[in-house]
Amino acid sequence: MLISVLRRPKQRALKKLKKLHFIAENCRRSIVGEELLVNKNEEFWMKCGRFCPLLYPNPKPTPRNAYERIFTYGTRVGVYVSIIVQLILGLMIPFPTVRAVIQIASLKLATSRFRSIILMFIMIWAFQIPAMNTTHNLQMLAESVACVSDSAIQVGNKLIGEVNMQTNKFSLSGLKEVMHFFGKLLKNFRDTMRKLQNTVVKFGKQTKDFLVQLLAVKEFCQRFFIGPYYFCLRIFDEGAQYCDRLTLYRGLSPCKFVKDMRKICEAARFSEMVCVIPDKITRTLKSGFLPFAKDKMKAAMNFVMDDYNISFIVKEAKAAKKTWEELGISVNYTVESNRTKTFELEKMKEELEKILNQFNVFVDILSAVIKFMIPNMVIITFFTALLYVMKYKRKEKADNVYITEEFRNVDMIREAQGQPSLLPLLPKERKTYIEGFTLHMTSKEKMRMLFAFAITLISGFLPAFLILLDIFTYQMLYFTYSFLQSNSTRTDRLDFYNLKAAGEGFVAKLLQKILSIFHPITGSQYSDDDWRRCFIEPNPPDFQLIRFMMFLYLIALLLCIIQIYAARFRHLIAQYYWPERTKPRTLWLYNKVLEGRKNILTQLVKATKEKEVKDQLVEDEYSGRGNLANRGLTVLDADQYRCTRCFRPDLSITDASNTRICPNCNNLYCTDCYAVKKKCLECGASLQSVLDETEFYMDSSCEEDESIQDETSVQSP
């Protein structure tokens, strides 16, 4: 007792603390500009509240239509609905028929109708949550690729801007003002130029190594991303083919929708853009920094050689020029030889938005149709219950396959009178009739159960496909995201030799200005991690909703069996409210079973007699009496006929004690079959009708006797 008292306040406090932490995290995200967190549980019950407003979480939203106002306290519509419900309950008290209809309808509402409603909810949830999450993840992928492209363009523009800024700073006006200092510092200048040439050579070698590593990463990236596009196409093609095999007619809207969803595989090709060197960077390298640095290097070398005529500078400048030209050719060749096919991103985004809008319209239409179907299904259920009551009161054969206690009493009375009993039932009869509440099912019940299983399995195919598609898309995108954020796509920064000139003299200033040319490469603070920020972690599937949908689907499968046994309670409810119908229904069922049992016995007797006749014919044939027996059969069969119903072979027209004739078609019946049947099996005429005019047969010999007596009476006087 004490533990429970302490545990409840603790749980409430933890729940409030968790909610406070959730609100604080959303506040922080709203300030930073990040995407807000979503409470999956609250979002799920909000979606459920669209169908049943009582399921809305607190605080409940304002009612938007008449249907939601029904469930709101204090509204006029709610009062009217309460009055109608109370009137129905008032009618149930004096009218037993109303009570019976509602109770019979409740059985079907709790089983088969509830199963149909569960399948409808699963269908609409599959389109609203997993399918929308899949499209949202693909849209995030498109935005990430566009972000990478924009980032590459910004880097190229920044590189060109820095180069242009350094060009404006570079000036040789101070060189003429201090010409007389050049001779003294000639030796230092020569050493500095040699170091500069060595720096350029090393820089070219390291840049070549960097490009080789970049090509290796690009080749590995292309091998990695070549598979998802074709794998995605194969998944949708196999799904469309399997859907066509399940449906009766090809070209249905569900299968066509699966084929149209094949277009989302184009989004898988976005990942190839990650492996492409943007054209903007290519043009920047060709027309921006590389030619500029090469031209400035040539200008500096020519200026020194023309104005000062120093031979050793020519040698060093030619070596630096050759090295730089080799570097430029290598970069140009590397960029041009690895260009890939460009992708029209804006056109793709427009098509994707169009498909998403169409999908949203389809989901809204589906939700509206299901909302319209659910109340109509409830109303139709009450009409079917009323129809069942009407059939029960008018027809004895309506739902009359149950061996009740009254049936057993009739069978016991028959057995006490010395007649054969019908119980227990034969194996063939157990397929049609049921002895009480047993687990055994009739053939019709098995057919209904198999049909319910088929509908449930077919209805669960599309939600299962959308859920698996959501999980597969998330796993593929998350694997891509993890790969791009891992160390596999990171390259080590190359070590650059950076010369620094100290001092206030002319040579120091000149070297500082020359070295500043290489600032866009050696001094840039740009990080290669910026493009990785474009890729956002995809939204995971709502596994809580998926588990709940699986639980409901299992309940729907169980209801396929439960609805068969629950339907047997209908005749008990009707028997309770109309007990006067019990005896006529019992006698009708007993006669039906007795008639079927008599047909079985007749067929057995017929088969036994035919077997005896055949055995006798075989024996006569072996004994040499075959010809005599064949001639005798034609004579014996001349005046003998078979019963139309039981095929009794020894009937004769002259045998009035054992033979009856149909007054309409003249078919023969034995006296037993004539007493049981009400109508002729051939023409359908009534066998119990009395003719208005009866014809009697009279022997002609009687007339001759009367004429002789008349003649003798006349002659006697």
Task: Parse the chain into domains and list their residue ranges.
Answer: 2-97, 113-370+455-562, 639-708
Sort strands 402-403 and 434-435 into parallel, antiparallel or unpaired. parallel
Under a CB-based contact definition with an 8 Å cutoff, are residues 146 and 345 in contact?
yes
Torsion of CA 18, 22, 28, 34, to 10 degrees: 150
pLDDT of residue 417: 79
Looking at residue 664, what is its pLDDT?
Answer: 79
Q: Between 713 and 50, where is the model more confident?
A: 50
Three-state DSSP string of 379-420: HHHHHHHHHHHHHHHHCCCCCCCEECHHHHHHHHHHHHCCCC
Taking residues 55-67, report their average pLDDT.
77
Q: What is the mean pLDDT of the chain?
A: 70
pLDDT score, position 616: 66
Distance CA 535, CA 271 (A): 11
Residues in a beta bridge with 371: none
Residue 71 φ/ψ, nearest 5 degrees: -95, 5
Q: Quick check: 200 and 323 in contact, CB under 8 A?
A: yes
Please name the residues in contact with 612: beta carbons below 8 A apart, sequence gap of 6 or more.
Answer: none
- Residue 57 burial (10 A CB sphere; 0-12, 13-18, 19+): middle
What CA–CA distance (Å, rounded) separates 408 from 418?
Answer: 16
User: What is the CB neighbour count within 10 angstroms for residue 217?
Assistant: 14
- Of the listed ranges 345-354, 477-486, 565-574, 630-639, the one predicted with least confidence: 630-639
More confident residue, 337 or 229: 229
Taking residue 412's Cβ as centre, other Cβ atoms within 10 Å add up to 12
Three-state secondary structure call for residue 536: coil
Q: How far apart are CA 45 and CA 57, in angstroms?
A: 6
Average pLDDT over residues 429-448: 85
Q: What is the pLDDT of residue 278?
A: 54
pLDDT at 516 over 70: no
Confidence of residue 610 (pLDDT cuts 50, 70, 90): low
- CA pair distance 320, 184, nearest whole angstrom: 24
The pLDDT of residue 113 is above 80: yes
Mean local confidence (pLDDT), 486-507: 60
- Give the per-residue pLDDT at 548: 92
What CA–CA distances, in Å, run from 78 to 55, 74, 83? 16, 7, 9
Beta carbons of 677 and 645 less than 8 angstroms apart: yes
Task: Give 350 or 636, the one with higher predicted confidence.
Answer: 350
Structure tokens of 491? Answer: 């390259």
Question: What is the predicted pLDDT for the residue at 477?
Answer: 83
Token code pair at residue 455? 């509908």
The domain made up of 639-708 is a member of CATH 3.40.30: no
DSSP of 427-440, one letter per residue?
A: TTGGGT-EESS-S-
What is the pLDDT at residue 596? 75
Higher pLDDT, 431 or 205: 431
Mean pLDDT highest for which of 376-385, 496-505, 655-664? 376-385
pLDDT for res 260 = 66
> Is 554's pLDDT higher than 90?
yes
Distance CA 570, CA 529 (A): 71
Beta bridge partners of 660: 669
Q: Give the pLDDT score at 396.
A: 85
Task: Give the length of the chain.
Answer: 717
Residue 450 has pLDDT above 90, yes or no: yes
- Quote the pLDDT of residue 344: 52
Q: How far apart are CA 561 and CA 557, in angstroms?
A: 7
- Number of other CB atoms surrounding residue 87 within 10 Å: 10
> What is the per-residue DSSP string for 625-689?
-HHHHHHHHHHHTSS-B--TTT--S-B-TT-TTTEEE-TTT--EEEHHHHHH-SB-TTT--BSS-
> How large a percentage of the chain has pLDDT more than 90?
7
